[in-house]
Amino acid sequence: MKRFLYELGESWKIAVAQMRSNLTRSTLTALGVIIGIVAVTLMGTAIGGISIGFDKSMAVLGDDVLYVTQWPWKVVDDWWNYRDRKKIKTEYAEMLNRMIEKTPNSNLIVAVPTSSVFRSIKYGGNQVDNVFVLGTTSDFIVTSTIDCKEGRFFNELESRGGASVVVIGYDVADALFPSESPINKSVLINGQLFKVVGVNTRQGTFLGLFSWDSMVAMPLGAFNKYFSTNTESDVRVKVKDKTKLADAKDELTGLMRRVRGLGPEKKDDFSINEQQAFKSTLDPIKNSIAISGLFITGLSLFVGAIGIMNITFVSVKERTKEIGTRKALGARRRTILLQFLIESTALCLLGGFIGLAFAYVMCFGIGKAFPSFPINFSAGLVIVSMLVSVMTGLFSGFAPAWTASRLDPVTALRYE
């Protein structure tokens, strides 16, 4: 082992000297690896960012909330079985809440109705189209990680009275009120004035999934009064203990069957969903983006590796006589193998290091230029790309190094 480390150290010195003396060639060869590592690393940060974006969007759903919907949150083959189901009504929430109150040791806390529709919203000369307008109760904040930057969520009084108040998302606020505070201003939705009582903190948007940034919420009473067409209604139910999600789901199913008045022989005519179900639908998409992305960028690294392999072959050929001399002086096969392997690995490591530095700067630049684009430059990524560099070096150096180590000393010495 000690002997091996000794040889490793000596080979390293030789490799560094060799790179220095062939500076142009080493730089050009390393360039291939640099480009490869930059591509792979940027892809890695993008994938990391996508993953974070997904998780952030998922967090909005809450991991302790069950969603009662007409359609299940998954791809179904027998869509016709779901199409004719009765729509979910917002009144179910009240019925569920009454039942929850009467159930001792219920796993459920509260049911919250939500209705939604897409509408334009106006203030002064500014207008935002296709805003997700949500009608709900003041209990909504229990089920969601909503947080007001300014003002507040509408209260129970406003909720019960169906007051014309709205809480608006960050992007909506930004578009309508570029230079003033939206609080207590009246916005126009569907020809109706609503008073802004709160603005949400920015959550960031990702692929347009569930961001509160571009939506507005108002009391259900007001919603029902002014929006009656094309609305979608769900009921969301907060669970007491998220480790007992399955129990809670069973309980809720039972309650919903009572609400719907289903006999024991009837199948459920509603779906109960949770964040996890959605995640398992999205995960394969996320993974296939990651795999195909890494594969394509991996190809550029592969091209870099071939460059290294090529140059190591040239180096072995050029230095045949030197290899012969080294063998005559007592270098063993392993020593020669190690020497060339380390030369190619050192080149790849150098390339990897420079590539990583470039990627870091580029990520920093992208992060500054497009703050909403999720990027994730992690320590793990640094370690992985360094490992990839070393592997690339070993992979591309092995064939030439093996050739060198197998050279016959007599032939090698005679080589001109």
Segment contacting other proteins by CB under 8 A, of 108-116, 145-153, 305-313, 323-331: 323-331
Segment contacting other proteins by CB under 8 A, of 54-62, 63-71, 264-272, 332-340: 332-340
Cβ-based nearer residue to other proteins, 56 or 319: 319
Residue 24 interacts with other proteins (CB under 8 A): yes or no: no
Residue 361 interacts with other proteins (CB under 8 A): yes or no: no
> 398: burial class by Cβ within 10 Å (0-12, 13-18, 19+)?
middle
Kindly provide the b/e burial profile for residues 182-200, where b requires at least 16 CB atoms within 10 angstroms of the residue's own CB: bbebebebeeeebbbbbbb
CA dihedral 288→393→19→22, nearest 10 degrees, is -80
CB 332 to other proteins: min, Å: 4
Query: Pick from 1, 23, 75, 329: which binds other proteins (CB under 8 A)?
Result: 329
Segment contacting other proteins by CB under 8 A, of 68-76, 80-88, 209-217, 331-339: 331-339
Cβ-based nearer residue to other proteins, 3 or 83: 3
Distance CA 68, CA 84 (A): 16
Distance CA 336, CA 70 (A): 70
Cβ-based nearer residue to other proteins, 5 or 369: 5
Q: How many CB atoms lie within 10 A of CB 2?
A: 6
Query: Pick from 138, 155, 310, 335: which binds other proteins (CB under 8 A)?
Result: 335
Based on its alpha-carbon atoms, the radius of gyration of the chain, rounded to whole angstroms, reads 32
Take residue 412 and report the two structure tokens written for it: 């090698």
Cβ-based nearer residue to other proteins, 197 or 347: 347
Residue 19 interacts with other proteins (CB under 8 A): yes or no: no
Segment contacting other proteins by CB under 8 A, of 202-210, 223-231, 267-275, 324-332: 324-332
By rule CB under 8 A, what count of residues binds other proteins?
23
Residue 402 interacts with other proteins (CB under 8 A): yes or no: no
For strand 215-219 and strand 165-168, is the pairing parallel, antiparallel, or unpaired?
antiparallel
Residue 1 interacts with other proteins (CB under 8 A): yes or no: no
- At 337, the amino acid letter reads L
Cβ-based nearer residue to other proteins, 20 or 267: 20
Query: Pick from 244, 258, 266, 332: which binds other proteins (CB under 8 A)?
Result: 332
Cβ-based nearer residue to other proteins, 244 or 414: 414
Take residue 373 and report the two structure tokens written for it: 């684009």
Tell me if 404 sits within 8 A of 336, measured CB to CB: yes
Residue 174 interacts with other proteins (CB under 8 A): yes or no: no
Quickly count helices (H) and strands (E) in the chain: 14, 10
Residue 232 interacts with other proteins (CB under 8 A): yes or no: no
Q: How many CB atoms lie within 10 A of CB 72?
A: 15
CB 23 to other proteins: min, Å: 12
Tell me if 197 sits within 8 A of 165, measured CB to CB: yes
Residue 191 interacts with other proteins (CB under 8 A): yes or no: no
Distance CA 231, CA 360 (A): 46
CB 24 to other proteins: min, Å: 15
Residue 160 interacts with other proteins (CB under 8 A): yes or no: no
CA dihedral 166→172→175→178, nearest 10 degrees, is 60
Segment contacting other proteins by CB under 8 A, of 34-42, 59-67, 262-270, 402-410: 402-410
Separation in Å, CA 107 to CA 7, 91, 101, 410? 66, 21, 11, 84
**Chain contacts with other proteins (rule: CB under 8 A):** 3, 6, 10, 17, 21, 321-322, 324-335, 408-410, 413
